[in-house]
């Protein structure tokens, strides 16, 4: 069973405290994450070089549910991972596990040498064929694991010189399709939520591109990658409102600006917050529900008459005109005699 040194002062070490502050976790949580990281490295990064692994691989190994990039920055900031010119390596890894790894190799070589038989004892018998352990692809185990044909493949310690491959459902197994070492990308079934989101968004982009006279815009789309981006949007970015996500999908392929700038699930996730704000603002403008200047109250300068005026009859009008003529004549007479007008 593999083991690694666990120093008593790990919880009080300044590097651990820096790691806690940067990541925002408690000391027991940090110590647990770090030990899981070192255990994982004993199996998958025995030389301490983690350059070939992505930040998500490290987060999975440490069972960290937060942002993988934040975790990687915290490991580098605290000094548990050294960023070099050629990549990333675990700090002082040889001091932790180097001697154990060398002893493993030495033990494996010693056991292999002890299992060797004289050449005359290994000749195939014409009457009884050699018992060869087979792998899943039909090849002999000796041809894959042990360059020495004299090694007994049935020995119980064969795993020391040829480790068994990880189970098929293990996330850390290397991807055969990607052609690069590291974590195998998760695969989503066609009926999974995230795969359906990827298919739906691709159909919207295809419809938009055809309307714009574009063809083959999404021919090279990897729906598995798109599905994983939508999973990150929901799980890592905490955007669990799938109804909101769908409404933004429907809107973004119609917006004059954003429809030419968001053509993948990765870009959709990166710009999601801006897209929600832009969508809400466009909705207010189109519906006329934006900011409106308050209307000033109307003030009546001259009050309106509440009662209708009474009409004057022709006789009354003639009498009033007669009185006016009389008053005018009297005024003129007073002016001729120098009398002041009362």
Q: What is the pLDDT of residues 41-59, one digit of tens each?
A: 888 888 889 999 999 999 9
Spatial contact of 327 and 341, defined as CB atoms under 8 Å apart: no
SS3 (DSSP) at 61: helix
Q: What is the pLDDT of residues 226-276, one digit of tens each?
A: 999 999 999 999 998 999 999 999 999 999 899 888 989 999 999 999 999
Predicted local confidence at residue 2, as pLDDT:
56
- Within 8 A by CB and 6+ apart from 305, the residues are none
Predicted local confidence at residue 34, as pLDDT:
92
Q: What is the pLDDT of residues 128-145, one digit of tens each?
A: 555 545 554 455 444 334
Spatial contact of 101 and 163, defined as CB atoms under 8 Å apart: no
E strands in the chain: 81-83, 88-90
The 8-class DSSP code of residue 129 comes to -
Rg (CA), the chain: 43
Spatial contact of 291 and 301, defined as CB atoms under 8 Å apart: no
Comparing CA positions, the residue from 273, 264, 263, 267 lying closest to residue 239 is 273
What is the distance between the alpha carbons of residues 214 and 104, in angstroms, rounded to a whole number?
59
Beta bridge mates, 82: 89
What is the distance between the alpha carbons of residues 98 and 94, in angstroms, rounded to a whole number?
4
Give the global pTM: 0.35
Low-confidence ranges of the chain (pLDDT < 70): 1-5, 96-101, 116-185, 283-310, 337-342
The 8-class DSSP code of residue 3 comes to -
What is the distance between the alpha carbons of residues 323 and 23, in angstroms, rounded to a whole number?
103
């Amino acid at each position: 069973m593999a083991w690694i040194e666990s120093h008593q002062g790990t919880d009080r070490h300044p590097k651990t405290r820096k790691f806690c502050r940067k990541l925002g976790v408690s000391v027991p949580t940090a110590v647990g994450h770090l030990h899981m990281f070192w255990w994982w490295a004993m199996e998958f990064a025995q030389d301490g070089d983690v350059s070939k692994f992505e930040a998500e691989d490290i987060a999975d190994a440490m069972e960290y549910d937060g942002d993988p990039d934040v975790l990687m920055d915290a490991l580098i900031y605290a000094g548990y991972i050294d960023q070099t010119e050629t990549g990333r390596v675990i700090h002082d890894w040889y001091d932790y596990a180097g001697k154990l790894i060398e002893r493993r190799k030495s033990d494996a070589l010693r056991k292999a040498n002890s299992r060797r038989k004289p050449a005359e004892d290994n000749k195939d018998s014409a009457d009884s064929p050699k018992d060869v352990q087979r792998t899943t692809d039909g090849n002999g185990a000796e041809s894959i694991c042990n360059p020495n044909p004299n090694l007994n493949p049935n020995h119980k310690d064969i795993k020391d010189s040829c480790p068994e491959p990880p189970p098929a459902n293990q996330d850390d197994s290397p991807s055969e399709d990607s052609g690069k070492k590291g974590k195998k990308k998760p695969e989503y079934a066609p009926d999974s939520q995230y795969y359906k989101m990827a298919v739906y968004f691709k159909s919207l982009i295809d419809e938009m591109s055809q309307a714009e006279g574009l063809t083959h815009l999404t021919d090279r789309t990897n729906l598995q990658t798109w599905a994983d981006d939508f999973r990150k949007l929901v799980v890592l970015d905490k955007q669990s409102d799938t109804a909101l996500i769908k409404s933004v999908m429907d809107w973004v392929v119609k917006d004059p600006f954003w429809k030419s700038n968001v053509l993948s699930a990765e870009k959709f996730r990166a710009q999601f917050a801006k897209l929600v704000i832009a969508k809400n603002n466009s909705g207010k403008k189109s519906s006329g529900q934006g900011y409106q200047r308050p209307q000033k109250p109307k003030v009546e300068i001259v009050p309106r008459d509440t009662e209708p005026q009474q009409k004057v009859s022709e006789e009354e009008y003639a009498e009033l005109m007669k009185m006016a003529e009389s008053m005018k004549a009297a005024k003129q007479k007073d002016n001729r005699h120098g009398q002041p007008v009362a």
